[in-house]
Amino acid sequence: MTTQRPHADVPGMKLPAPRTPDPAGAPGLRWGLLGAGWIASQMAFSLSGTRQQVVAVGSRDAARARAFVEEHAPGARPHGSYSSLVADPEVDVVYIASPHSEHLEHALLAIAAGKHVLVEKPMTPTADEARQVVAAAREAGVFCMEALWTRFLPHIDVLRQVLEAGLLGEVSTVLADHCVPLWPDGPERLASPDLAGGAILDLGIYPLSFASLALGGLTAATGLGTLTGRGVDRRVAFVAQGPTGAVASLATDMSVSSPTTASVNGTWARLELETMFYMPTTMHLVGTDGVVLDTMVGDPIEQHRGLRHEATEVALLITAGERESPLMPLDESVRTLEVMDGLLSSLR
């Protein structure tokens, strides 16, 4: 066990600079957006000003695809079906931006067409479906990654460096929450069991993935929660453990708001991530005596424009001939869904 040391005795107690690649310098790919909803619009916006180009947009409704192109991706080709989109010879990579209940079908469709895929989080509603996507991508030799954009943000790269350097000492606990009032008056996809609704797949994946990164993986998890009258999870509080024995305390709820903060707590120091920890935000390195040792200030206007960092990762790796990301490994995406499967099964 690492012994506690005063921060004054620990050399270099400063946050390192982020190593995040400049999105403007990444090699350009031609993107097809499968889905014409809100998250697709945010991706289109985030790619503006980079070398990435949205060349096609697909929807089951041709008029919706045309309206999306006109508003969010001028010059792109609208497709009135997903099969037409993935068959477009000008598309290098398909961003799966449909509801996650349809990710398996749409990812397999794009992979069968020989396209690289970036699949919006969660990769699929269940681990079994995710294994099918991963197996298909590996068999086809195409790039595949879950679009958990937090992993590619500058402050998370700094967190990763801090953990690699052992700057916090022995990591013992991780705390994170993500609660947003999206039910009962929010989108139907969150309320409906047929659309893989519920809090944990849509919101809880952020604290769970954060814990997986900070703990070095997940070996066990258990939790308590409440289902809605339609049988989807309204709120869940859960604990997870990593391979070293360190633990995480996590919570998600789709009926209330919460601070949505996070911390990684070690024997020498801790990292505190301010509100909306999963977005570009401010992070503090804090000594065991509560003194702030260093601060990384987040960009308050960045928000979902940070999606361009995951697109940069995709572009760099595909250009280099890689087929998955070391920052968001496919096996970790499957493992996170295995944990969520277990939590949801125990609630139901």
Positions annotated as catalytic residues are 121
Nearest to 87 by CA among 109, 62, 117: 109
Omega before residue 122 within 30° of 0, cis: yes
Instruction: Give start and end residues of each alpha helix (H) in the chain.
Output: 38-47, 62-72, 82-87, 103-112, 127-140, 154-165, 188-191, 199, 205-215, 307-319, 330-347
Nearby residues of 135 by Cβ (< 8 Å), 6 or more positions away: none
> Pairing state of beta strands 247-253 and 233-241?
antiparallel
Rounded CA-CA distance 214/150 in Å is 13
Rounded CA-CA distance 291/286 in Å is 6
Omega before residue 184 within 30° of 0, cis: yes
Q: Is 266 exposed, middle or buried (0-12, 13-18, 19+ CB in 10 A)?
A: buried
Provide the strand spans (E) within 231-298.
Answer: 233-241, 247-253, 262-266, 269-273, 283-287, 292-296
Give me the residue label for tokens 């479906």.
Answer: 129
DSSP 195: G
